Amino acid sequence: MTFVPEPFAEHVVACAGETGQAWLDGLPDLAADYAQRWQLTFDGPAMHGYVGVVLPATRSDGSPAVLKMSMVDKETRDEPIALEVWAGAGAVRLLDSDAARGVLLLEGLDATRSLQTEPIDDAVRISTGLLRRLSVPAPAGLTRDLRIEAEQFSVAGPELWADLGAPFPRKLLDAALDVCAQLGPTAARLLVNQDLHYENVLAGTREPWLVIDPKPLIGDPEFTTLALVWNRWSESSVDDRFAAIVDGAGFDPDRARAWTLVRAVQNWLDFVGNEDFEDVGFHAVQEIAPWAMR
């Protein structure tokens, strides 16, 4: 069974080296194993994100589903926990899973329709409404905690900034570190989807729109703001986009701006470290970080 898109395979190997290649080599057998276990018939071309492959399928009862196989890392390992908690309310329904192997069976959605192509005002309104619904008390078992990650960045951030040759003014880094020191220890104990953006909201049948591919952690919902600001970056001003997000999600505006600064600085460092200077996100964070520090 050959289904791994070449760009995806190249990305995995570039990021994970031999470990990534070994995981790619095992995908055909993994897919065949779970197709048999869950009685699936694959019936469409493979799709992929950054760390996972999705195979459209039909279940034995004729209902549509997808088999999702991801490399297990700190951002993907808790996905089934979040989906179980949401139980299909505002998010794709989890039908079965083998979390240890990064394999999920999900209900089938319309992969040809996402909020990426809806008018931006509608996309913000819908996504923030979903974000508000999904901000529920964090369940036991989540392995990422904003309180811990803020503390870790306070130590690692200055070292990384120096190692990368001071790629932006130190005052931006210091402001981000100040946010981590002030807000990190008191971050909320809510289930947060760090990667809720417009391409990760697909059309459904049970509900018009459903969130997919969560990157869960325990913390403040405001920590998610950047994903909705920098995606579709050129379609509205930062002030207008931020105001719409805060209003739609019911965010504390000061906390949302503060965490947006932290995430913009973190992503700026990531882009420089990966030499990913052509990504539209790299250009976006160079404007968002100074804006958020105001």
pLDDT at 207 over 90: yes
Task: Measure Cα distances from 178 to 33, 158, 169, 185, 259 in Å.
Answer: 49, 12, 15, 12, 11
pLDDT at 1 over 70: no
Q: Is 195 a catalytic residue?
A: yes
pLDDT at 2 over 70: no
**C-alpha dihedral sign at 248, 253, 255, 257:** positive
Same domain as 134, residue 83:
no
pLDDT score for 48: 84
- pLDDT tens-digit profile of 48-93? 877 789 999 999 999 999 999 999 988 899 999 999 999 999 999 9
Task: Measure Cα distances from 123 to 21, 35, 202 in Å.
Answer: 36, 34, 11
Marked catalytic residue, from 195, 247, 254, 276: 195
For residue 38, being part of any structural domain is answered with yes
Question: What CATH number is attached to the domain comprising 20?
Answer: 3.30.200.20
**Mean pLDDT over the full length of the chain:** 95
Same domain as 150, residue 78:
no
Domains of the chain: total: 2
Question: What CATH number is attached to the domain comprising 149?
Answer: 3.90.1200.10
For residue 163, the one-letter residue type is D
Same domain as 137, residue 240:
yes
Same domain as 119, residue 98:
no
pLDDT score for 7: 81
Point out the domain boundary residue: 112, 137, 156: 112
What range does the domain containing 179 cover? 114-293
For residue 1, being part of any structural domain is answered with no
Residues 6+ apart with CB under 8 A from 167: 161, 268, 269, 272
Residue 15 or residue 279, greater confidence: 279
Residue 44's pLDDT band, with cuts at 50, 70 and 90, is confident
Percent of the chain with pLDDT over 90: 85
The two tokens of residue 104 are: 């999920």
Same domain as 278, residue 230:
yes
Cα–Cα dist 271/266, whole Å: 9
pLDDT score for 119: 97
Alpha-carbon dihedral angle through residues 225, 139, 217, 135, given to the nearest 10 degrees: 0
pLDDT at 19 over 70: yes
* C-beta neighbour count of 122 within 10 angstroms: 11
pLDDT score for 6: 82
Cα–Cα dist 72/77, whole Å: 5
Residue 158's pLDDT band, with cuts at 50, 70 and 90, is very high
Same domain as 280, residue 214:
yes
Same domain as 128, residue 30:
no
For residue 23, being part of any structural domain is answered with yes
For residue 118, being part of any structural domain is answered with yes
Percent of the chain with pLDDT over 70: 99
Point out the domain boundary residue: 56, 83, 112: 112
Same domain as 124, residue 52:
no
pLDDT at 218 over 80: yes
The two tokens of residue 180 are: 């981590």
Same domain as 250, residue 130:
yes
Q: Are 78 and 143 in contact (CB under 8 A)?
A: yes
Poorest-pLDDT segment among 45-59, 118-132, 207-221, 242-256: 45-59
Point out the domain boundary residue: 97, 112, 127: 112
pLDDT score for 146: 98
Residue 105 or residue 4, greater confidence: 105
Q: Are 132 and 115 in contact (CB under 8 A)?
A: no
Between CA 73 and CA 222, with CA 183 as vertex, the angle to 5 degrees is 65
Same domain as 272, residue 150:
yes
pLDDT score for 92: 98
Q: Which residue has the tokens 């589903």?
A: 65
Cα–Cα dist 93/89, whole Å: 8
Mean pLDDT of all residues in 243-254: 98
Same domain as 289, residue 192:
yes
For residue 238, being part of any structural domain is answered with yes
C-alpha closest to that of 185 among 147, 220, 146: 147
